[in-house]
Chain A
């Protein structure tokens, strides 16, 4: 195929696609208009409501025990999916929380860094190389390192030190509930999150503790800065973090780059990657993707959450399909009679699908209420379940799709039954 032929074919396909899109949109508008006109006619008493809804609802609610079993199946399935998806969203958010809160245009890190918590080190010479690249206004070093926190009552626990100086691209704590950022300039000052007090053996602001046998004093308290690895984050200025971690003063884990006005991130990143020796530069988005990819797929944690959600969906589809099928079989005489007296296939599909949609609406309503309770209960836990509004809407559509998909077996059963059997039953 020549290039001209390819372009001509592509244009034709595009025109055809647009035509179909226009037709679909027009059909949808006409359908909605007719539905609205019909609803108006019913409300004003010019038309009577179709029996199709009554038939579907009565079929569904006729056997209350079976209805309860259906709803239990949907609720169980959707709660499982909701929690798994909520954990997934939470996990996805938490693995990039530091990247999200750093005001950097570019991140410079040791080659091969997989995620933010990867404690490899850069030499300060890389910083000077970075600063020599046109477009780089600043390259602020940040240290990320594990250290031993001495619990006042005895024993130790690992913490993740975040050492950064306060400047335009520094990584500073947020969601401060006690103390002030300036307090971190006081000698020995550190910041910890309130949710880790028990783990760290402290009671809060003003407590004096030890990190690697060196004195530290809690001068700042945050809320909600949690690590999904459950290792507490401890913020402190860069020089002190190096001391606590026992790392030489010319080392850092990251360089947070601020660009000069007018410089583009992509071109500076390219130049940085050509200049740096044992480091690489990534945009925040690229670093987020890399971190998520490592934690979600490299460690198998994401796969486990996906598997749980998938399992929930399969359980839901099987339960709903089985119940709808049984319910349809119970009413098969009635459905066959409908066919015998001349109802179209569409009428019968609609009855069964309305049954499925009613099940979906009731099941989702209960599952959503349970989901909201779970969100509230886990708010302060190490891995809170997050259900954003968009996800909730998506889960509703998933429930509807699951229930409609489950109705297929029942529809096939009825449509395959010969209407003439009505004479022999």
Chain B
């Protein structure tokens, strides 16, 4: 494993105000290295999504420090956090969150468009990203013309096109059947195997555990167990 691409030290996060205030994270520390696929597991309400949001620079921790590619997020303004996210992190969401009015290639290109990259090569890069996820034949299809598995693969292509150092995936297989879930995880594991990117997957799905290099269990905002997985991101 190379240097950590995302690192969290002793993260505490409070959510809500007044009587509704709850402590979602209670001193969480973890690191995600380039070339590894880490799975974060835990029951509902355990703080998985909050941790993902903090690691993804969408939420600032109440206490503790997050470093993305060696850069601390402490004291950064929202627009600076956005830039950090844009430059170093790719997201894969449970509900894909593709733009229904754009084709697959435009959905993928969007990740570069928001960076202000309008160079001629963005089209080739988007095609390449779609080829990586096995969708070279669906570049002109709209999301509604794609199956759930294909939509999730387009979302993965969007996450990797910008050469993000970390891919954060939130329940990427939750809405997919076994076959599509396996295909999606194979792609994510393949991305991790390339060695430069770290992949963190939040999941409830025990079927995909064999893809993990490490598995981290979180409960009540605390990491209760972590350890390596024998599978080491190879195909199960």
- Asked whether A342 is an interface residue with its Cβ less than 8 Å from the other chain, the reply is yes
Chain B residues with CB under 8 Å of A334's CB are: 97, 99-100
Within 8 A of A (CB), among B50-98: 52-53, 56, 58-59, 79, 82-83, 85-87, 89-91, 93-95, 97
Quote the shortest CB–CB distance from B128 to chain A (angstroms).
15
Quote the shortest CB–CB distance from A193 to chain B (angstroms).
58
Quote the shortest CB–CB distance from B157 to chain A (angstroms).
12
Q: When A50-B113, A58-B101 are in contact, do A341 and B118 touch as well, CB less than 8 Å?
A: no
Chain B residues with CB under 8 Å of A42's CB are: 118
Q: When A339-B82, A341-B111, A425-B95 are in contact, do A48 and B87 touch as well, CB less than 8 Å?
A: no
- Asked whether B122 is an interface residue with its Cβ less than 8 Å from the other chain, the reply is yes
- Nearest opposing residue in chain B for A425, CB measure: B95
Q: When A55-B99, A341-B86, A343-B86 are in contact, do A422 and B93 touch as well, CB less than 8 Å?
A: yes
A420 and B158 contacting across the interface, CB-CB below 8 Å:
no
Q: Kindly state the separation between the CA atoms of A347 and B110 in the bound complex, as whole angstroms.
A: 11
For A48, give its contact among B97, B123, B158 (CB under 8 Å).
B123
- Asked whether B207 is an interface residue with its Cβ less than 8 Å from the other chain, the reply is no
Q: When A45-B120, A48-B118, A338-B114 are in contact, do A55 and B82 touch as well, CB less than 8 Å?
A: no
Q: When A48-B120, A342-B82 are in contact, do A423 and B170 touch as well, CB less than 8 Å?
A: yes
Q: When A419-B58, A420-B58, A422-B97 are in contact, do A51 and B52 touch as well, CB less than 8 Å?
A: no
Q: Kindly state the separation between the CA atoms of A92 and B233 in the bound complex, as whole angstroms.
A: 81
A423 and B113 contacting across the interface, CB-CB below 8 Å:
no
Q: Kindly state the separation between the CA atoms of A418 and B82 in the bound complex, as whole angstroms.
A: 12
Chain B residues with CB under 8 Å of A48's CB are: 118-120, 122-123
B102 and A342 contacting across the interface, CB-CB below 8 Å:
no
Q: How large is the interface on A (under 10, 10 to 19, 20 to 34, 35 or more residues)?
A: 20 to 34
A55 and B102 contacting across the interface, CB-CB below 8 Å:
yes
B91 and A341 contacting across the interface, CB-CB below 8 Å:
yes
Q: When A419-B58, A423-B49, A423-B52 are in contact, do A47 and B110 touch as well, CB less than 8 Å?
A: no
- Asked whether B106 is an interface residue with its Cβ less than 8 Å from the other chain, the reply is yes
For A423, give its contact among B53, B101, B106, B120 (CB under 8 Å).
B53
- Nearest opposing residue in chain B for A334, CB measure: B99
Show 11 A/B contacts (Cβ-Cβ < 8 Å), sorted by A. Answer: A46-B120, A47-B119, A51-B109, A54-B106, A58-B101, A337-B99, A340-B85, A341-B85, A344-B114, A345-B82, A420-B53
B102 and A51 contacting across the interface, CB-CB below 8 Å:
yes
Q: Kindly state the separation between the CA atoms of A59 and B102 in the bound complex, as whole angstroms.
A: 10
For A342, give its contact among B59, B83, B122 (CB under 8 Å).
B83
Chain B residues with CB under 8 Å of A420's CB are: 49, 53, 58-59
- Asked whether B115 is an interface residue with its Cβ less than 8 Å from the other chain, the reply is yes
Within 8 A of A (CB), among B17-62: 49, 52-53, 56, 58-59
Within 8 A of A (CB), among B102-155: 102, 106, 109-111, 113-115, 118-120, 122-123
B101 and A62 contacting across the interface, CB-CB below 8 Å:
yes
Chain A residues with CB under 8 Å of B119's CB are: 47-48
Report which residue of A46, A49, A55, A419 has the largest number of chain B beta carbons within 10 angstroms of its beta carbon: A419
Chain A residues with CB under 8 Å of B123's CB are: 48
A342 and B99 contacting across the interface, CB-CB below 8 Å:
no
B82 and A344 contacting across the interface, CB-CB below 8 Å:
yes
- Asked whether A52 is an interface residue with its Cβ less than 8 Å from the other chain, the reply is yes
Quote the shortest CB–CB distance from A59 to chain B (angstroms).
6
Please give 10 more A-B residue pairs, beta carbons under 8 A apart, in addition to A333-B97, A342-B89, A423-B93.
A48-B119, A50-B113, A52-B113, A337-B93, A340-B91, A341-B86, A344-B82, A347-B114, A422-B93, A423-B49
Report which residue of B53, B79, B99, B111 has the largest number of chain A beta carbons within 10 angstroms of its beta carbon: B99
Q: Kindly state the separation between the CA atoms of A191 and B226 in the bound complex, as whole angstroms.
A: 104
- Asked whether A167 is an interface residue with its Cβ less than 8 Å from the other chain, the reply is no
- Nearest opposing residue in chain B for A46, CB measure: B120
Chain B residues with CB under 8 Å of A38's CB are: 118
Q: Kindly state the separation between the CA atoms of A46 and B120 in the bound complex, as whole angstroms.
A: 6
